[in-house]
Amino acid sequence: MVFRNTGLPKNYDPEPIEDKWYQTWLDKGLFDADVDHSREAFSVVIPPPNVTGSLHMGHAFNNTFQDIVCRYKRMRGYNVLWLPGTDHAGIATQNVVERQLAQEGLSRHDMSREDFVKKVWEWKEEYGNRIISQQKKLGNSCDWRRLRFTMDEGLSKAVRAVFVRLYEKGLIYRGKYIINWCPRCQTALSDLEVEHSEEPGKLYYVNYPLVGEEGAILVATTRPETILGDVAIAVHPRDEKNQKLIGKKVVVPLTGGREIPIIEDNMVDPEFGTGFVKITPAHDPNDFLVGQRHGLEQLQVIDSQGIMNENALEYSGMSVEQARVKSVEDLKELGALIKVEELPHQVGHCYRCNTVVEPYLSEQWFVKAKPLADRGVKAVEDGDIRWLPEHWTKTYYQWMENIRDWCISRQLWWGHRIPAWTCESCGKLIVSETDPDICVDCGSKSLVQDEDVLDTWFSSALWPFSTLGWPENTEELRHFYPTSLMVTGFDIIFFWVSRMIMMGMEFMDEIPFKDVYIHALVRDEKGQKMSKSKGNVIDPLTMIDQFGADALRFTVAALTMPGRDILLSPSKIENYRHFINKIWNASRFALMNLDSSTPTKPSVDELNLQDRWIMERLRSVTSQVTSFLDEYLIGDAARLLYDFIWGDLCDWYLEMSKPALRGNEGEARKNANLWVLQEVFRGVLCLLHPFVPFVTEELWQAFGLEGESMEVDNWPTTDEMAEFPGVEEEMKNLQEIVRSIRNLRAEAGIPPQKVVPLSVIRTDSSWGKNLIENSGDMICLLAKVQSIKVIPTGDVPPTLSLSSVLSSGIAYLPVGDVLDIDGELTRLRKDLAQVQSDLAKSLGKLSNENFVKRAPEDIVLQEKERVESFEKKIKRIEENITSLSME
């Protein structure tokens, strides 16, 4: 006997269910993944969130996507490793601790480096795992035993090994280069750590006098304070108007007569400004490259604090803003400022402190990225790595093929310190995986380690293999690498995905993952990016408290479409909460009918149309959902399940089952119906489980289905499911008749529970006659009519009736006894006039040549479809008027 929980609470309450089952899964170790060569491995490493972070909607979507795939694969029998972890987030974490110190009236410079780093570790141990508990609340099925941190001892060892080996191959070097610099944080920044916003600005037109002849050239600049650092003026090589000036010299204003050459370079946009561009290699990344090509001086006039330095002459000691104001005043006084235009432009700010970022020439450590990128490009070209959606490969190729050297040093105290030492005695540079004791050249023990730490992305680039034990050749590394899937956002294709590919190819001689799924953004319902300043942030933890994790998970899954952003609102989550409630109530209905019975498998003859239909639908949906999930189309799978459960199962099959379940059709039919009910819910719960794991586990146990959990090896297959060819078409015809009669009832304003005496189907088709003969009682039950009959198309239709055209006939609903005929005729004539007016407007548009030629093709097509719809509606109204007018 099967023991079922037929006493499920009437109202679904997610909180106790979700807390209970998550702890149960952890206690049973169902998410743990050990090396098991008897099963195919499927591995995913989680994009590590910052230890300073808390779960936001982007995390919720990204994590839900991965969890759905991992639970699906686990149910398919794979040995699934979903490896969790967090990132030390150098700048962000250091800023958090520095703000705490500031509240005590201290700065990090008031203590030793070692004491400050110790304080950061203390903060991390107390607060750094907050996001982990939040991920568990969402339902992440990670192997938490394997939780990694980018500054774990093992990962730190991997970071050192990579740095040293790249250095020894000549792929890491130290040199001067233009980088993003935060004057407040006093560190280099990656492009991702610079946030741009459009701000009002000005374009200043300045005359540079020609040397040795009359006249001047006019140069436009947004930064007049950097004129002091100009070392050349450039024009485009194909700028015929200014070709004669190439090779001549001009005087730099504000400098007391310093002369610089006019050069040619393809970087210049002849259409911008005046066609002349001032070249300041120390303060602009494009100018820096021009300077390298032409061997120009790198004249630095702004220091690391954002202050004008000694090269800025009389402006020395001013802030950039002060120097801008003063230089404009001086240019006016000299008569060199010709005009000023308003020019809104993008200004970069530090993502942590919001200070305006300066392009800054400084000595940094760099990775020569091009040799590494070439292998990464080939891996994608050869099809070893698949990108989903596929169009992101173009973005990847564009970045990789135009890649610049990667600045990997940061002027911080928190992070992986660069493993490079300089001998104070002889100047020897020592790069080593272990801390050296003496100089290998002169034997001196006076060694000083480089003060900088590595860019956070450097350690993250090793994530797929460092987390599995590299540089040791561990069993986990051999079994789970390369990983199967990487799920991430498009904004870090450059900074993380491409670098993981490069590092994987370099150090593992193998790709780091087989598939890369690039998901879209989660925006608010108006399509705006969520931000605290706009007040449109949706907190996933608040949504979980209100609606449950399952509701949030299913919402983001169902709204997912490749290449399209998710437009989210609390009301949408609430709607899917109703869907889960629908599943709950449908399960309670099934359980109350099943009770303690153990239905036996019926013969095919004991299955009626709806039984065969719902089994065939389950078989079809199982096949489609499996196919969708194999291709990571979680949105298609979720929407299909929603339609199947709410529509096919709840709205149709459960309603059609009620006569048999009441015993009205005999014991054999009741047994058959119970058996189908049990099998359908078994399949439905399994298909739903990756999306809504908590409620499905609760219901699985309530049904008394096999196994300690449905989490492992429970995915349904179609191999053993019976096929019922043609049954879906047969059911489609039945549904068409029922919907037509229901629509006619609604048009006539007949209350839903009122039974109408008769419905008539006029048709000559054999399917219509057979359907009515075999399923007429069911049609009457669903359409709320006492009886239904079929008449040939040659017979006179019933009088005083409303009609609806079917695919192979016409449905009539005699309403003379239940309807105010005169009132209905008045309504129909009013509707007819309105539809005729709408038709005339559409026909008028289509007769207008300008509209047909100039309007977008889809708009014209839409108007043609409206005409067709209006014409059908007019014909139907006219038929009903004629029918209701006949006595």
**What residue numbers does the annotated binding site for ATP cover?**
532
Element (H, E) at 296: none
CA distance 80 to 711: 12
CA distance 54 to 544: 14
DSSP string, 557-611: HHT-BTTB-EEE-HHHHHHHHHHHHHHHHHHHHHHHHHTT--PPPPPGGG--HHH
Peptide bond into 471 cis (omega under 30): yes
Q: Give yes or no for a contact between 97 and 103, defined as CB atoms under 8 angstroms apart.
A: no
* C-alpha dihedral sign at 788, 789, 793, 795: negative
Neighbouring C-alpha atoms within 13 Å toward the C-beta of 758? 15
CA distance 316 to 326: 12
CA distances from 558 to 539, 561, 573, 577 (A): 19, 8, 10, 12
CA distance 255 to 227: 9
CA distance 466 to 474: 11
As given in the structure block, the two tokens for residue 757 are 């005496």
CA distance 273 to 814: 79
- For residue 324, the Cα-to-chain-centroid distance in whole angstroms is 42
What 8-state DSSP symbol labels residue 794?
T
CA distances from 199 to 341, 343, 348, 356 (A): 14, 9, 10, 12
- For residue 321, the Cα-to-chain-centroid distance in whole angstroms is 39
CA distance 748 to 750: 6
CA distances from 810 to 407, 501, 786 (A): 74, 63, 19
Length of the chain, in residues:
887
522-524/566-568 β-pairing: parallel
Binding site residues, as ranges?
532
* C-alpha dihedral sign at 556, 560, 563, 568: negative
Peptide bond into 14 cis (omega under 30): no
β-bridge partners, 50? 87
Long-range contact set of residues 618-625: C-beta below 8 Å, sequence gap at least 24? 618/644, 618/679, 618/680, 618/683, 618/684, 618/721, 619/718, 619/721, 619/722, 619/723, 620/728, 621/687, 622/683, 622/687, 622/716, 622/717, 622/718, 622/721, 623/718, 625/687
- For residue 420, the Cα-to-chain-centroid distance in whole angstroms is 39
CA distance 772 to 778: 9
Closest by CA to 233, choosing from 246, 214, 223, is 246
